[in-house]
C-alpha cells in the first residue's frame, strides 16, 4: 500500500494519545484511582483517539483496495488482511481471559477493525453507498445505546453498545460506521489511491517524521505498549506483581 505522510502523521499522533491514555488507565486500575477518569475529558479523549484509529483504518483500506485492483488482484487479499487482524484480537482475548477473566476483551478495537475490513468488501468501490451507510450506522449507535438491548441475543454485545465489563469494548454499532466514514474520506481525498492536488506531503521536520514513523509502526506498538507500561510500573515498584496475577 502506498504511504502518505499525512496519514502516517495522524496515526502517529493517535498512537501517542493512546499511550498517554493507557498509562493513566493502568495507573487508575493498578495503582491509585483517578477521580472522574471514566467520565468527562478522559472519556471523550479515549473515544476520539479510537475514532481516529478506526477512521484511518477505513481510509487505508480504500488505498489498499485501489492497489489490489490496479495490480489485477481481487478482494481475497483484503479478506485475509481483515482475518489476520481479527485473529490478533483473539490472541488478546485469550490472554485477558486467562489473566483478567472479569475484564476479558472479547470484542476490542482489533476485533472491530478486522471485522470491519471483511464487512467493507461489498462497499469498496461504492463511495456514495459507503457514506450513506456510514452516517446511518454511526447515528444508530445513539439509538441503540439503551441498556434494555443487553441480553436479547448472545451476539448483541458484539453489535450494539451495551454495558459490559471489559478492558476494551468497541461494538460494530457505531464503530463500523466510523470505519465506513473513513472509507468515504479515502474515496474523497485519495481517488484511485492518489492524493488530490496539494494534499500529499513531500517533506517534514524531524518531529513530523518521527510521528509518521510511529504511525507506520502502530500495530506492533499497540500490541507491545500495554505489557511494557505494566512491566515498567512493576519494576518501579508501583504495582505488586501478585496483585496483577491474582
Q: What is d(CA 62, CA 215) in angstroms, rounded to the nearest whole number?
A: 18
Q: What is d(CA 23, CA 9) in angstroms, rounded to the nearest whole number?
A: 21
* Overall average pLDDT of the 147-176 stretch: 76
pLDDT surpasses 70 at 245: no
Confidence of residue 205 (pLDDT cuts 50, 70, 90): confident
Q: Nearest to residue 161, comparing CAs of 179, 152, 149, 176?
A: 149
Q: Give the position of cell 494534499.
A: 199
The number of angstroms, rounded, from the C-alpha of 153 to the middle of its chain's C-alpha atoms is 25
* Overall average pLDDT of the 132-161 stretch: 74
Higher pLDDT, 203 or 66: 66
Confidence of residue 54 (pLDDT cuts 50, 70, 90): very high
pLDDT surpasses 90 at 72: no
Q: What is d(CA 221, CA 58) in angstroms, rounded to the nearest whole number?
A: 19
pLDDT per residue over 78-92, tens digit each?
A: 999 999 999 999 999
**Cell numbers that stand for 23 in this block:** 498509562
Judge if the upstream peptide bond of residue 174 is cis by omega within 30 degrees of 0.
yes
What is the predicted pLDDT for the residue at 153? 54
Q: Nearest to residue 95, comparing CAs of 84, 86, 106?
A: 106
* H-state helical runs in the chain: 5-26, 40-70, 76-99, 109-119, 127-143, 156-159, 172-189, 206-216, 218-235, 241-245
Confidence of residue 185 (pLDDT cuts 50, 70, 90): very high
Query: What secondary structure does DSSP assign to 22-41, as a single string?
Result: HHHHHIIIII---TTTTSHH
What is the predicted pLDDT for the residue at 204? 63
What is the predicted pLDDT for the residue at 200? 59
pLDDT surpasses 60 at 61: yes
How many other C-beta atoms are found inside a 10 Å radius of the C-beta of residue 144? Answer: 16
pLDDT surpasses 90 at 19: yes
Burial of 181 (0-12, 13-18, 19+ CB in 10 A): buried
Is residue 85 classed as helix, strand or coil in its secondary structure? helix
First to last CA, the chain: 43
The widest CA-to-CA distance across the chain, in whole angstroms, is 57
Cα dist from 205 to 9, 32, 210, whole Å: 12, 38, 9
* Overall average pLDDT of the 135-146 stretch: 80
What is the predicted pLDDT for the residue at 171? 92
111-115, 150-154, 165-169, 187-191: range with lowest mean pLDDT: 150-154
pTM for the model = 0.91
Amino acid at each position: 500500500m502506498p504511504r502518505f505522510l499525512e496519514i502516517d502523521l495522524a496515526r502517529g499522533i493517535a498512537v501517542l494519545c493512546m499511550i498517554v491514555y493507557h498509562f493513566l488507565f493502568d495507573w487508575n486500575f493498578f495503582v491509585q484511582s483517578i477521580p472522574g477518569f471514566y467520565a468527562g475529558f478522559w472519556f471523550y479523549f479515549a473515544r476520539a483517539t479510537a475514532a481516529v484509529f478506526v477512521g484511518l483504518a477505513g481510509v487505508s483500506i480504500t488505498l489498499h483496495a485501489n492497489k489490489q485492483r490496479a495490480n489485477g488482484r481481487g478482494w481475497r487479499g483484503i479478506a485475509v488482511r481483515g482475518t489476520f487482524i481479527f485473529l490478533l484480537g483473539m490472541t488478546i482475548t485469550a490472554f485477558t481471559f486467562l489473566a483478567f477473566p472479569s475484564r476479558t476483551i472479547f470484542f476490542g478495537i482489533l476485533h472491530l477493525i478486522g471485522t470491519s475490513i471483511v464487512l467493507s468488501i461489498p462497499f469498496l468501490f461504492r463511495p456514495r453507498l459507503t457514506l450513506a451507510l456510514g452516517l446511518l450506522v454511526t447515528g444508530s449507535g445513539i439509538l441503540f445505546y439503551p441498556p434494555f438491548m443487553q441480553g436479547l441475543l448472545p451476539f448483541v454485545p458484539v453489535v450494539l453498545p451495551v454495558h459490559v465489563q471489559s478492558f476494551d469494548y468497541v461494538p460494530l454499532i457505531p464503530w463500523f460506521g466510523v470505519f465506513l466514514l473513513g472509507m468515504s474520506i479515502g474515496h474523497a481525498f485519495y481517488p484511485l489511491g492518489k492524493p488530490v492536488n496539494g494534499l500529499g506531503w513531500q517533506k517534514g521536520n524531524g518531529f513530523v517524521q518521527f510521528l509518521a514513523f510511529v504511525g507506520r509502526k502502530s500495530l506492533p506498538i499497540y500490541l507491545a505498549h500495554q505489557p511494557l507500561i505494566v512491566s515498567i510500573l512493576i519494576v518501579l515498584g508501583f504495582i505488586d506483581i501478585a496483585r496483577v496475577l491474582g
